[in-house]
Amino acid sequence: MKNTKVFFGVGTAVVVVVALVVIVLKFAGGSLDVVGKQSITTFGTILQTIPENVEADDVNGGYALAAPDGSVRFIWSTDYSKSAVHDVMLELDAKPFIDAGLDAGKLPENYAAYEDKLMVGTKLGDDALTYGGEAAPLAAYEKIVEKYRSNINYHTALDHYGVMLGDGNMFEWAKDLSTNSTTGEAQDKDIVFVLNPLPLVAAGVNPEQVEGWAYAQVPTDDGDVWKLLKPFDLK
């Protein structure tokens, strides 16, 4: 009798647990990784919002999303086995940094300087990526989520998703373009190019004098950190 009660109790608990998990999963659209899944959706929204700024980048073997002013691009590879230096990266105009004191020879390895551009990013892996159909921009982004989920970030304080480009550099976009804020307060930061100022400072840059970039503290889960930011409002 007692055993029956125990079995009944445990059985009920198991049923409740399974039912709850199933319902929650159903609610989450079948994926446990709701952050990763939603980052795809919202990245797609960004691409659709400024389609004219999205283009194939044959040099880097992927796609590039250019800032509305063209001063900076976020580039992501379609095949990591073919990309030479970085799989995800930022390409930015070098002039504002040179004007602010940059000595390109002092930049760390993840930086590359050529002509009037600076490149900063990271190698995700050596995977030869294959696609069901065409290696479209969003499909290429989905591969990052699928293969290198740890490089996708949700920035709670700003309600942003982001791709981590290594060494504190990031490309971020708003989860919701209409609110673009966890507090409900409107912010003109639909996409943000983020640089870690420390290597640049070490290379002679005065971060407060980089034209077109804001040197500001950004709230993170680990506290406020100084960043060089270039935000854009796409609306």
Q: Would you count residue 17 as binding other proteins (CB under 8 A)?
A: yes
Q: Would you count residue 174 as binding other proteins (CB under 8 A)?
A: no
Q: How many helices (H) and strands (E) does the chain have?
A: 5, 12
Min separation Cβ 18 and other proteins, Å? 11
Of residues 93-122, which lie at the interface with other proteins (CB under 8 A)? none
Stretch that binds other proteins, among 50-58, 133-141, 193-201, 218-226 (CB under 8 A): 218-226
Q: Would you count residue 146 as binding other proteins (CB under 8 A)?
A: no
Residues 91, 93, 159, 172: which binds other proteins (CB under 8 A)? 159
CA distances from 193 to 60, 127, 165, 190 (A): 19, 26, 11, 10
Q: Exposure string (b/e) for 11-41, b if CB count within 10 Å is 16 or more?
A: eeeeeeeeeeeeeeeeeeeeeeeeebebbbe
Nearest to 193 by CA among 84, 66, 47: 66
Q: Would you count residue 50 as binding other proteins (CB under 8 A)?
A: no
Q: Would you count residue 206 as binding other proteins (CB under 8 A)?
A: no
Residues that bind other proteins (CB under 8 A): 9-10, 13, 16-17, 20-21, 24-25, 27-28, 32-35, 38, 149-150, 152-154, 156, 159, 175, 182, 221-223
